[in-house]
Amino acid sequence: MSIPIRIDPSRDILGLIDVQPTFMPGGELPVPEGDAVLPVIEQLLAGPLGHAFATQDWHPPGHLSFASSHPGRRPFESVMLPYGPQTLWPDHALQESHGAAIHPRVAQARIEAIIRKGFRREIDSYSAFFENDRKTPTGLDGWLRSRGFSRLFLAGLATDFCVAYSAEDAARLGYEVFVIEDACRGIGLPLEDGRTTLDASRERLLGLGVHFIASGDIG
C-alpha cells in the first residue's frame, strides 16, 4: 500500500489540461473514453488540492494544424512546418464554439487561471507552457512562480500529447510533476518503431523524473 501524498496548499496546484468537449465522445477530435476523466476531476476539485489552473485549446478557423488547411492531406498525417514536424488534426476547439469551452462539469469556481493556447494561426500548442516551437511562452510559468507553486498535479486530455508536453516542460523548468493517470486519457497513435505515442511519452517523462500516480494516492 502506497503512502498518501500529503498536499501543501502553499506549493501544490492541480492543472487541468484541455478538459473540453471537443476532445470527448461526440466532439471533433475525441480521445477514447475522454469523458471518463470528468468524475475523477470532479473529485479532485472537491479534494485537498485547494488551487487549480486550466488550459483551453483555442484555435481560429484555418489553423495550420488542421488537415483541412493542407489540400490533399488527411488527419493524423505529419507535415513539416517552420517550427518542425506537426501532426495534422481534424478541425477542433474552434474559438467560441461549444467544443472549445471548458466542460460544464468542471467546477470553474475552483480554477484560478485559464491559459488559452493554439490561438496563433501559424503555430500549434500542446504544452501549457510553450507553443510548439518550444520557445514562445504562454505565461503560465511566470504566474505559477509568482504564486509560489512548485508541485504540479496534472489531469486531462490527452495523456500522450498536451498532458505529456505540459509535464515535460514543467519538469524541465524545475517543477516537481505528478501525472494523475486515472484523471487522463490518451490517443495512442502508432509509431514507426512499433510503440505508440502513449508508450513513448511515458518513457520520456519517467526519464525526466515525472511521477505517475492515481487520484487515490493524494491524501
> Mind listing the pLDDT tens digit for each residue in 49-78?
999 999 999 999 999 999 999 999 999 999
Predicted confidence at residue 124, as pLDDT, reads: 97
Q: Indicate if the pLDDT at residue 1 is higher than 60.
A: no
Tell me the HSE value of 103 on the side-chain side, using a 13 A CA sphere.
Answer: 24
The residue-averaged pLDDT of 152-172 equals 98
List residues with catalytic annotation.
18, 117, 162
Task: Give the DSSP per-residue string, 31-68.
Answer: PTTGGGHHHHHHHHHTSS---EEEEEE-BPTT-TTBGG
Q: Indicate if the pLDDT at residue 2 is higher than 80.
A: no
**8 Å CB contact between 206 and 216:** no
The residue-averaged pLDDT of 180-200 equals 93
Q: Indicate if the pLDDT at residue 11 is higher than 60.
A: yes
Which of 100, 140, 121 lies closest to 13, judged by CA?
Answer: 140
Res. 3 pLDDT band, cuts 50 70 90:
confident
**Cell triple for residue 1?**
500500500
Q: What pTM was estimated for this model as a whole?
A: 0.95
| Mean model confidence pLDDT for the chain | 96
The residue-averaged pLDDT of 176-183 equals 98
The residue-averaged pLDDT of 39-53 equals 96
Which of 53, 66, 58 lies closest to 156, judged by CA?
Answer: 53
Tell me the fold of 12-60+90-217.
Rossmann fold (3.40.50)
**8 Å CB contact between 18 and 31:** no
Instruction: List, for residues 141-155, the tens digit of each pLDDT value.
Output: 999 999 999 999 999
List the domain boundaries for the chain.
Answer: 12-60+90-217
Q: What is the 8-class DSSP label of residue 137? A: B
Burial 94-124 (b: 16+ CB within 10 A, else e): beebebbebbeebeeebbebebbbbbbeebb
Q: Indicate if the pLDDT at residue 159 is higher than 70.
A: yes
Predicted confidence at residue 93, as pLDDT, reads: 98
Instruction: List, for residues 77-121, the tens digit of each pLDDT value.
Output: 999 999 999 999 999 999 999 999 999 999 999 999 999 999 999
CB neighbours of residue 129 within 10 Å: 26
The residue-averaged pLDDT of 162-177 equals 98
